Structure 1
Amino acid sequence: MTDLRLVIFDVDGTLVDSQTHIAAAMEAAFAAEGLPVPPHEQVIGVVGLSLPVAIATLAPDLPADQAARMLDTYRQSFFARRVGEGASPLFPGALEALEALAAVDDILLGIATGKSKRGLDHILEAHGIGHHFVTVQVADHHPSKPHPAMVLAALSEAGVAPADAVMIGDTEFDIEMGRAAGVQTLGVGWGYHPVERLAAADALVHSFADLPAAVLRLWERPDG
């Protein structure tokens, strides 16, 4: 391992506000099968899980062929909206926070997301932020959050020890994943899970303006 430190970001609900596209695509998937559309809060509550797990969570008794059709409908709907409306926007202050952390000599940045590689590549390209990340972990290659595989892979690729890493996310899936991998965790209060569900995080922030300092403070803690 090196003397470097790693800051791992979730994407949906943490860096980008994608709930409009996600909710619309999920509505299309359920409606195409003649199924009642879950309430918005339930749909947003599964953001961060890999798509097959998210659909299974919202509709646990679906036959396999129907679930497969819903996956296809979701992806087609999401892609169509992305083409028509453009990429989901970054949250205010996200770019500035990324640039501030990237400017610290011994800090590396990574991503651990429930998005597909195709979806993430579009986001990174649209916002011109891909160059900031030395490791990128996506749902295509790992079990769904909160399994720690994505964080463990990020640590391995970056050559950073768990004690020198932080997982940042807006859902309890992110926090559970980080804790399972042995890294510190930072919850953000502007995302898709209410802050009550982030109680297990080592720290919580409510503004991107406060995020870089909060990350550095985690490493100043006696157990950091």
Structure 2
Amino acid sequence: MTMDLRLVIFDVDGTLVDSQADILASMTAAFGAIGLDVPERQTVLGIVGLSLDRAIRALAPDVDDASISTAVEAYKTEYQRLRATGGTQKSSPLYDGIRDVLDTLHGQPEVLLGVATGKSRRGLVSLMDGHQMGHLFVTQQCADDHPSKPHPSMVMTALAETGVAPEQAVMIGDTSFDMDMAKAAGVAALGVTWGYHSPASLSAADRIAARVQDLPELVHAIWSDRT
């Protein structure tokens, strides 16, 4: 009997890696470039997961398109500088236990792994190379190729690329954008509490993980719930 393939799609920032220090520093540079004070830390972290232009527009809704473009470029320049200076391991460290979880899931023959992120392709490739984990993910969706989360395009493309049915897929993320994207694509949503949105904002999740090491068990529990 042929084994049904299953797909686990991970968000990146706030789920696999903790990049908040560089995000906050880069956003400070972005707002400085257009002569505005950067919003408070929690406000900035609340938009992580959106595509960069949409994130900055959400933080500065009254500025014009030219200023948004200036801020985006300033953000990218500073983020790249910080990564080049500190290296990926310092700039965007993996959360404790994440690599073990990825290796565990990757080692299960019926399970495929993917990512869906608001990062640019350049930023995603740099991160994957820095952590030597690009080979783990058979589908990698990023902001360059899709509308911003919570639009379901990233998840739907991941399903199409892998041939996995929606009921056999799980989206794992730390934000309401991830949960809403999963629901819009018809896949299960697994929220994590160690990222940038509060647990209360993950109300659309099918299940919530408070510990990294619980992820494999919860993923399989979700599949059991849906069959």
TM-score (norm 1): 0.98
State the match for 1:132 in structure 2: 136
Q: What is the alpha-carbon distance in structure 2 between the residues aligned to residue 125 and residue 33 of structure 1?
A: 32
- TM superposition shift of 1:3: 1.5
State the match for 1:22 in structure 2: 23
> Can you list the C-alpha shifts for 1:11-68, whole angstroms capped at 9, x where unaligned?
0000000100001000011012210110000100000000000000000111111111
Counterpart amino acid of 1:162?
P
Q: What is the alpha-carbon distance in structure 2 between the residues aligned to residue 66 and residue 200 of structure 1?
A: 34
Q: What is the alpha-carbon distance in structure 1 between the residues aligned to residue 35 and residue 63 of structure 2?
A: 12
State the match for 2:87 in structure 1: 86
State the match for 2:191 in structure 1: 187
State the match for 2:4 in structure 1: 3
Counterpart amino acid of 1:46?
I
> Can you list the C-alpha shifts for 1:147-178, whole angstroms capped at 9, x where unaligned?
00000000000000000000000000000000
- TM superposition shift of 1:186: 0.2
State the match for 1:167 in structure 2: 171
Q: Which moved more, 1:2-11 or 1:162-171?
A: 2-11
Number of aligned residue pairs = 222
Q: Which moved more, 1:30-39 or 1:103-112?
A: 30-39
Uncovered stretches (5+) of structure 1, i.e. residues with no partner = none
Q: What is the alpha-carbon distance in structure 2 between the residues aligned to residue 133 and residue 67 of structure 1?
A: 32
Q: What is the alpha-carbon distance in structure 2 between the residues aligned to residue 119 and residue 39 of structure 1?
A: 24
Q: What is the alpha-carbon distance in structure 2 between the residues aligned to residue 124 and residue 110 of structure 1?
A: 12
Q: What is the alpha-carbon distance in structure 2 between the residues aligned to residue 78 and residue 205 of structure 1?
A: 29
- TM superposition shift of 1:85: 1.1
State the match for 1:101 in structure 2: 105
Q: What is the alpha-carbon distance in structure 2 between the residues aligned to residue 67 and residue 200 of structure 1?
A: 31
Q: What is the alpha-carbon distance in structure 2 between the residues aligned to residue 56 and residue 34 of structure 1?
A: 15
Counterpart amino acid of 1:199?
S
Match status 1:34 vs 2:38: no
Moved over 2 A (4+): none
State the match for 2:61 in structure 1: 60
SS in structure 2 opposite 1:160? coil
Q: Give percent identity, aligned residues only.
A: 52
State the match for 1:197 in structure 2: 201
Q: What is the alpha-carbon distance in structure 2 between the residues aligned to residue 121 and residue 203 of structure 1?
A: 29
TM-score (norm 2): 0.96
Q: What is the alpha-carbon distance in structure 2 between the residues aligned to residue 212 and residue 3 of structure 1?
A: 17
> Can you list the C-alpha shifts for 1:185-214, whole angstroms capped at 9, x where unaligned?
100010000000001100000111111111
Counterpart amino acid of 1:123?
L
